[in-house]
Structure 1
Amino acid sequence: MLFAARSQNALHRLLDTLPVFAGDRRIRHCFTLVPGSDFSLDALTAIERAGARTLPWSQALARRFDLVLAAGPKGDLHALRGPRVLLPHGAGFNKALPDEGTADSASGLDPAHLLRPDGALLADLYAFAHPSQVSRLAAVSLEAAARATVVGDPLLDRFLDSASPDRRDHFRTALRTGARRLVVLVSTWGPESLLRRRPSLPADLAAVLPYDEYQLALVLHPNERVRLGTFDLEQYLEPARRAGLLLPAAYEEWASVVVAADVLVSDHGSAALYAAALDRPLLAAYDGGEELLPGSPMAALLDRSPRLGTDVSAAPAALAEALRSHRPGSVRAVADTAFAEQGNGLHRLREELYAVLGLEPPTAPAVPRLLPTPPAAPSPPSAFAVRVHHDAQGRIHVARHPAHLTPPAPAHHLAADAGTANRRYLQSAAVIHRRADRPGTAQGGATTLTADAWTDRTLTAHPGGRRTAAVIVSATQCLLRTRTGPLLSAHISPCPERDGPVYADPAAILSAVHAALVTAEADGPPSTLTCALGERSFAVRLAPATEDEAALPV
């Protein structure tokens, strides 16, 4: 059989169907690239890397196949010989592309693409995800609708199988999300997409969202990746990436990140419907235009969702409100209008495809492949602009923002990692810290500094101003000193919560300790303080460091 893909996105849709044929030695898989798309660059890279059989288009035209499977009707599919089965190229039919085909026709249901040049039907079978899609096809062509059936969505089945609480926790651990809220920006492609209309949004959000409360990710349509190119995309996103932005790969990884998400910010691209099926809150970020079709599932989803305005300074409040006001089941109800046969898609697709092949299907069930573990997040920013304020209860509130981006308000001080920060940040930093090496990693014959010696050396190397030098020993202990005080030991208690204790990044706690030491400089260090990171509070005990603590290697 032949898998015919015109773009990366189409190929990814086809790859999700592979469990249908798993274990069947009668099936020989061939892949070909359908010419004619501006977004075909690297479309077959994943297949070639896996060692699958690829055919040049000319060879594909010269052979006859027992089954031709394609995602989307565009290109010269009619020239391929053999029974043709068409899958949707995305989640439903939500967009009209004015520059392609018939005006106001849903992309994927356009009669200009569903018919062969001689007027005959393009496909022997149209496999859809929901009965409403068959009804929409009937409005275009009753003859085509007679060849349509509902099989569900294989990618949705992967989402559902991968969304258990334990697997979601596994994804969030891999992403180093911790107790933060993972905010996923979802951008489709084209002139009305989120990234085209708000190109600075990733960096703007990274600047205003407190780092210890939010983590950011960007899910970008493969077509937009091709348009920008890998090098230019990385250059363009470099400030946001340096601030911690996740940029998952276009195949599979992005879906794992959506499973891990707490809230999405989306334009009119259909990827958000998968998040809706998982009942994730959504903020709408589509400014209107000609592409979104009224009455489509995406139009309904955006209509039901609160909106992220263009004033980025209001984003923290908008995200917090979206999470607070989310009603369980509200967005899942919209997804149910786009996806039928949920959890049964591969079984239904297998029935239909093997009927076309004229073969008995394998007896073993077709099981969706779990979504992969996403790669680790980038390292934290090397320097932070830190805002600090004291509340009526005596808590010290800390909000850290990446120092290389414009902070939302003047900072109390700068904090920098001694091992990774640029010299300009170290020269200006009021808090300079390093994380202690793991025991046993010192090179033979090398001199190992103690915490006492390193903090003293660091303050000597950076004269002037009120500074704190600190060594992060563990998630619950730091050793620190100011220019005039003794070496102190700070013990940090986790924040107790219903599902278990939440541990803070000790580097954030150090900023609260520094602020307390500056405030109480004349009276000596306090013995206790409370650091608030967002809505969580962490108790800190301060005491003079013992001799053993002072001698800890760093």
Structure 2
Amino acid sequence: MHRLLDVLPVFEGDERVLVRFTLVPGSVFDADAFAALERSGARTVSWEEARASEHDLILTASPKGALRVLSGPGVLLPHGAGFNKTVSGDGSPRIPSGLDPHYLLVDGEPWAALHALAHDEQLTRLAEYCPSAAARAAVVGDPTLDRLLGSLAHRGNYRSTLGTGERRLIVLTSTWGPESLLARRPELPGELISQLPHDEYQLALVLHPNEYSRTSAFDLSRHLAPALSGGLALARPYEEWAALLVAADAVVTDHGSTALYAAALGRPVIGAYDGGSELIPGSPMAKMLAQVPRLAKAADLVHVLPAAEAHDTRGFAEAAFALPGQALQRLQSELYSLLRLRPRTVPVAPHPLPHPAAPQRPLALAVRAEVSGCRISIERFPSFTSEAVHHLAAEHPEAGQRHVQSASVLWRRARPASPAPHTSTWTAAGWTARVLEDAPGCRTAAAILSPERCLVRHRSAGPLSIRIEPCTTTDRVLRTDPGAVVSAVHAWLGATPQWALPVSLVCEIGPLTVRVGLAPADEADLTYEL
């Protein structure tokens, strides 16, 4: 259904064409499909009504189900990045999904008037398995790929929405079924996020819509709760997966075709498929997985990533996608020919992908700190990590009572002024003093006033002002999380018995090295309203 939405721009500006959706009975994913259609504002009709009507054109991205009972010329649209896998117990044994004559033929004749394909290689394979369907096929390209390519200019905006900054965004992709990454290695997202330094890496997960539907968003949020609390971005089923690929720095994948879209964008690809019966030998996906580095265990990612970055993955995608940027124009020509209409003169173009949702911000982080004179190196991990760490830092009070009571560092971020007529707000000085009274285990309380300015109150050193210099290049300004700087200052104060203010510190946090000024607390910081 989502594939159909990517094709519908071919009819934009044409009041002669009315679009109605129906769902073929028998799918276990009906509920989510209906929900997606409702969100899109599309008009649906019942299956009974669809069967009773004559249609000028029937568009589908899958040949399965009782489509043959509908009246009108049918079009099978590109679905996925070619024919890479077979589905056990579905159709003819060992025939790639999408090429099975059992679904493509009715009484020995092709059901579809047009079989739209993304690449000549797919046409060759269709001719091998179902020659009569291949006689009605045309290579038009892939409209979904064109949406990704057309959205590349938005990459910076997507990363900004995700809060990626200068971190590397690693996207895990999982297809559906018993051989998928999430079925075979359900622990991998949590393991990766617990071992990757939070200020160097961001992790996202893309699931096939069928897997999302089978499990449900409710159960997925429970199964992935630790990883989500550690900052994992979980793509919703439609469009967000593609925006995450545009934003990504690398992809870890099973045998699902999503990774071929990533390869078409030039993203490094790392294999995480443990083998099985679904992947078709010689398919574009099989060829790619045979050549890219493989992730055997989570701890290997930082070592495997440089090898993946040395591969130019675009060559793998060239065997799955042809005619980049031309799919909608070619489909418009084919579809209007079947409708026996002349297309409107309105230019057709893929819609840019919408921004993905921001992931949950970690509320408690375990911090590894190394202090050498006035230079501090910081690595932060989710609170459930097994890594050796120096202290726990948590956001007060959102992190919860358990973390608040055990954290050595507690911070709070300043909020915009309330529009309410009656207000009561803490000053930075008042809040930091109160936190040290209420949390006896806390050594440092910090009010984060802005990305460049904090007030910290250390149990021994008292209140201090922090100034964080942004990293500047010729054309960019780069900032790190002030919470990491607060942990660096906390570690330095604990490791430095004698010092005199003002002090200039150098903090190494992920890919950035920032200079930090530490001085006696000034009045503006002390009285700042939180």
> Normalized against structure 1, the TM-score is what?
0.92
The aligned runs of 1:468-483 (5 Å cut-off) are 468-483=444-459
What is the identity, as a one-letter code, of the residue corresponding to 1:368?
P
Alpha-carbon distance in structure 1 between the residues aligned to 2:441 and 2:244 = 45
In the alignment, structure 2 segments of 5+ residues that lack a partner are none
In the alignment, structure 1 residue 389 sits paired with structure 2 residue 370 = yes
1:521 corresponds in structure 2 to 497
Give the distance between the partners of 1:413 and 1:33, measured in 2 at CA. Answer: 54
Query: In the aligned structure 2, how far is the partner of 1:85 from the partner of 1:446?
Result: 62
Instruction: Please state whether the residue corresponding to 2:446 is helix, strand or coil.
Output: strand
Change (3 A) 1:486 1:23: same
- How far is the alpha carbon of 1:523 from its aligned partner? 4.3
What's the offset of the Cα at 1:209?
1.1
Give the aligned partner of residue 40 of structure 1: 30
Question: Could you give the per-residue CA deviations for residues 154-212 of structure 1, whole angstroms, max 9, x where no partner exists?
Answer: 11111111112xx1111111111122111111100000000000111111111111111
Q: Equivalent residue of 1:33, what SS?
A: coil
Q: Which amino acid aligns with 1:513?
A: V
Contact 1:473 1:479 in 2 (8 A): yes
Deviation at 1:230, TM superposition (A): 2.4
State the Cα distance separating 1:359 from its structure 2 match. Answer: 1.4
Please tell me whether residue 493 in structure 1 is matched to residue 473 in structure 2.
no
Number of the residue aligned with 2:325: 343
How big is the shift at 1:37? 2.3
Structure 1 unaligned spans of 5+:
1-10
1:406-445 mapped onto 2 (5 Å cutoff): 407-438=385-416, 440-441=417-418
Contact 2:167 2:511 in 1 (8 A): no
Relative to structure 1, the CA distance from residue 517 to residue 113 in structure 2 (aligned partners, 3 Å threshold; closer, same or farther) is same
Q: Check whether the contact 2:371–2:495 (CA below 8 A) recurs between aligned residues.
A: no
2:253 matches 1:260: no
Contact 1:114 1:122 in 2 (8 A): yes
Secondary structure, counterpart of 1:366 in structure 2: coil
Q: Which amino acid aligns with 1:536?
A: L
Distance, in Å, in 2 between the alignment partners of 1:134 and 1:464 is 68
Matches within 5 A, 1:103-114: 103-114=93-104
Residues 263-274 of structure 1: matches in 2 within 5 Å? 263-274=250-261
TM-aligned CA deviation for residue 522 of structure 1:
4.2
Given the superposition, is the C-alpha separation of residues 82 and 427 from structure 1 closer, same or farther in structure 2, using an over 3 Å criterion?
same
Aligned partners of 1:88 and 1:108 also within 8 Å: no
Letter in 1 for 2:130: S
Asked if the contact 1:174/1:377 (under 8 Å) is kept, the reply is: no
For 1:25 and 1:549, locate their aligned partners in 2 and report how far apart those are by CA, in whole Å: 61
* Alpha-carbon displacement from aligned partner over 1:5-30 (angstroms, at most 9, x marks no partner): xxxxxx01111110111111221212
| Equivalent in the alignment of 2:286 | 299
- 2:438 paired residue number: 461
Amino acid at match of 1:382: L
CA RMSD of superposed structures (Å): 1.9
Q: 1:149 to 1:394 in 2, by over 3 A?
A: same
Please give the per-residue CA displacement for 1:324-375, whole angstroms capped at 9, x wherever unaligned.
x434xx2111111111111010000111111111111222221111111222
| Distance of 2:38 and 2:529 partners within structure 1 | 49
1:41-62 alpha-carbon deviations (Å, 9 max, x no partner):
3213232344433221122111
User: What's 2:42 paired with?
Assistant: 52
The alignment of Structure 1 onto Structure 2 pairs a total of residues equal to 530
Structure 1 position 507, deviation (Å): 0.4
Matches within 5 A, 1:297-336: 297-310=284-297, 312-319=298-305, 321-322=306-307, 325-327=309-311, 330-336=312-318
Q: Is the 1:442–1:448 Cα contact (8 Å) retained in structure 2? A: no
Question: In structure 1, what is the Cα distance between the partners aligned to 2:241 and 2:102?
Answer: 32
Shift of 1:132: 0.9
Which residue of 2 is the match for residue 158 of structure 1? 147
**Counterpart in 2 of 1:509?**
485
Superposition map of 1:86-125 within 5 A: 86-116=76-106, 118-125=107-114
Offset, 1:141: 2.4
Aligned 8 A contact 2:447 2:454 in 1: yes
The percentage of aligned residue pairs carrying the same residue is 51
Whether the aligned pair in 2 keeps the contact of 1:73 and 1:114 (CA below 8 Å) is yes
TM-score normalized by structure 2? 0.96
